[in-house]
Structures are given as structure tokens and as C-alpha cells.
Amino acid sequence: MIISKELNGYSDLVRRMGTDKRVLATHVSLFTALFIFWQRDGFVSPFSVTRKTVMAFSKIASIATYHKCIRELDEYGYIGYQPSFHPANGSLIYWPDGLKANDFNAV
């Protein structure tokens, strides 16, 4: 079942984040919010999100922290991020297909 596969993949990645010294609690909170939005969109990648809704859901209060964390999740390979730079249009998030926790080289 796809939902079981996706949940297992998410669980593996969160465990991996726990050992990645670059990742902070704000990264995990943002990643979890993005996973839930991906789930709500039927596990379709890419999916669109707005900064305001993701910040509210992940409990990130600072716009600077949000942008820093989402860029770093992209840089670290946990997600793909394509900003829209338009307040009404959502940014695109690409959930890596078939991503496994051992696909990362943590620093």
C-alpha cells in the first residue's frame, strides 16, 4: 500500500535527521509540515505550498528562519524547493521519489 510505503520512508528520513548534525528542530518541524501537505495533495510531487500556511503549521514565527530552513532542506537533499517569489502563487516542493534514509551523507 502506497500510504504505508510513504509513511515508512518519512519515518526513515526523520530518524536520519536525528543523526544529521546540520538539522535542527525547526528543520524537522518544517519537514513534517511539508510531509503533511504532500499527503493532503495525494502524494503528488511537485506540490504547491504558501509560506504563510507552512509557517503556521510548523510553528515557525520568523520569515528569515523559514527561508533559511527550507533552503537548507533543499541543499541537504531532503526536498526539492522552487520558490515562486509571488505572494499569491505557492512555491513548488518536490518530494524525492523513492528516497531512503541511507541516501544522505550527513556532515
The 10s digit of each residue's pLDDT in 13-52 is 777 888 899 999 999 999 999 999 998 988 888 999 999 9
Residue 105 covered by a domain? no
Which positions ≥6 away from 31 have C-beta within 8 Å? 13, 14, 17, 73, 78, 79
Residue 22 covered by a domain? yes
Q: All 3 cell numbers of residue 95?
A: 518530494
Residue 69 covered by a domain? yes
Distances in Å between the Cα of 86 and the Cα atoms of 13, 31, 49, 72, 103 are 30, 22, 12, 20, 32
pTM of the model: 0.82
Least confident of 4-13, 58-67, 75-84, 89-98: 4-13
CA distance 92 to 46: 6
For cell 544522505, name the residue: 104
Residue 26 covered by a domain? yes
Residue 107 covered by a domain? no
Q: What is the CATH number for 39?
A: 1.10.10
Q: What is the dihedral of CA 71, 92, 7, 23, to 10 degrees?
A: 0
Residue 60 covered by a domain? yes
Structural domains of the chain, count: 1
DSSP notation for 45-65? SSEEE-HHHHHHHHT---HHH
Residue 63 covered by a domain? yes
**Domain boundaries, position 8:** 2-98
Residue 104 covered by a domain? no
